[in-house]
Amino acid sequence: YNMPFAQITALVLLLSMIFSKEKQAIPINSLTFIWGCFIVWMGITTLLAYYPDAAYIQFKKVIKIQLMTVLTMILIDNMTKLRQLIWVIVLSISYYSVKGGVFTLLTGGTYRVWGPPGSFIEDNNTLAVAVLMVIALMMYLYQTAEKKWVKNALIFMVIFSLFTVLGSQSRGALLAIIAVGGFYWLKSKSKVYSGIFIAIAAVALLSFMPDSWYERMHTIENYEEDGSAMGRINAWKYAFNAANDNFFGVGFDSWSPETFLLYAPVPEDVHAAHSIYFSVLADHGWPGLIMFLLILFMSWQKLSKIIKKTKNDDSFKEYEILAKMLQIAFISYIVGGAFLSISYFDLPWHLVCFVLLLEQFVKRETIDDTAKI
């Protein structure tokens, strides 16, 4: 149990990068520039952190994640490899999402579903958002799979994963599902049929959940009476005040009684950020939040351009499908992450990496097609 699997994997990847002839340069564009600046900025805020020792420990974890995304950009040089990596991600998360869906069905949705202990997705809320993001990748694999049994297996995984999201009893995930459903309906060619499908699916899933689930979801409307919700608002105000008073933010792992005494409206109510936005705001100040938002915005813009470029061209169909599903995954993260401390979770950063890779592949294919003509 003490085997350092993550370190071994990183070492293997580094050796692969050194000896492999099938590698490519990191794309240099506005997105990678802002991304690089954000990484450097996190290093600066760590040096100036309120708790520099604790911040350094967290910074090392974040840098390791960022290193893996950089290696991904270097080693994944074609669509086949990217598809294989997506399969690895889907199968890794679906082990827990399918198991959680079965648990929800067997227990009638009475108990919450939790993620693997000691991981980024241990918390029920974080697990739910991660599963929603992976469901989008499942749908990409479903639409591009050729074998019928693979398609059937993926549908099975999607259904049970949706039950896991509901079984997590995450209110943030519910809002993310609504946002994803609304986006899918707006982008669909036939809004009548897609609206009917979404309504039927919603009724089928929600009718299974017990009264206790509905009672928890209804607290969204009466958040003033919910201690958890008010604690988050107090933490968000803390982040706002801390960023206004510190240009570089207060650094990683600053959410403590001492700092809350300085900046929180209710100092004794110490909470984690519970938001990707306020987490970055407190950790790295307003410049850090602006860079973080720019990374998400630029990723979305690149996906929109890819979809426009590949639309109605069968030779680019897979690229178009993946771009659309990545947008849905980003919506899950942007909406669900508004209530979760997963700013540095590796999956969203790999999604940004996938955007850059997809853009490269589309450009390469376009140039090759032009050369043939």
Q: pLDDT digits over 174-227, tens only?
A: 778 888 888 777 777 677 777 777 777 777 666 766 666 666 666 555 544 455
Q: What is the pLDDT of residues 17-67, one digit of tens each?
A: 666 666 677 888 999 999 999 999 999 999 999 999 999 999 999 999 999
Q: What is the pLDDT of residue 245?
A: 94
Alpha helices (runs of H) in the chain, residue ranges in sequence order: 5-19, 30-47, 52-75, 79-107, 124-144, 148-167, 171-187, 191-206, 211-218, 227-245, 257-263, 276-310, 317-336, 346-372
pTM of the model: 0.86
Q: How far apart, in Å, are the Cα atoms of 298 and each of 84, 203, 226, 352, 360?
A: 25, 35, 36, 9, 15
Report the alpha-carbon distance of residue 267 to residue 207 in Å, rounded.
Answer: 41
Q: What is the pLDDT of residue 12?
A: 61
Q: What is the pLDDT of residues 260-294, one digit of tens each?
A: 999 999 988 888 888 999 999 999 999 999 999 99
Whether the Cβ atoms of residue 285 and residue 83 lie closer than 8 Å to each other: no
Sequence-distant (6+) residues with CB within 8 A of 82 are 76, 354, 357, 358, 361
Cβ burial 311-322 (10 Å sphere, 16+ → b, else e): eeeeebebbbbb
* Secondary structure class of 36 (helix, strand, coil): helix
Taken as a whole, the chain contains a residue count of 373
Q: What is the pLDDT of residue 368?
A: 59
Whether the Cβ atoms of residue 263 and residue 245 lie closer than 8 Å to each other: yes
Give the model's confidence band at 373: pLDDT under 50 very low, under 70 low, under 90 confident, else very high: very low
Residue 44, token pair as written in the block: 């600066």
Q: What is the pLDDT of residue 25?
A: 78
Q: How far apart, in Å, are the Cα atoms of 104 and each of 61, 112, 161, 206, 207?
A: 33, 8, 10, 12, 13
Judged against a pLDDT cut of 60, whether residue 369 lies above it is answered with no
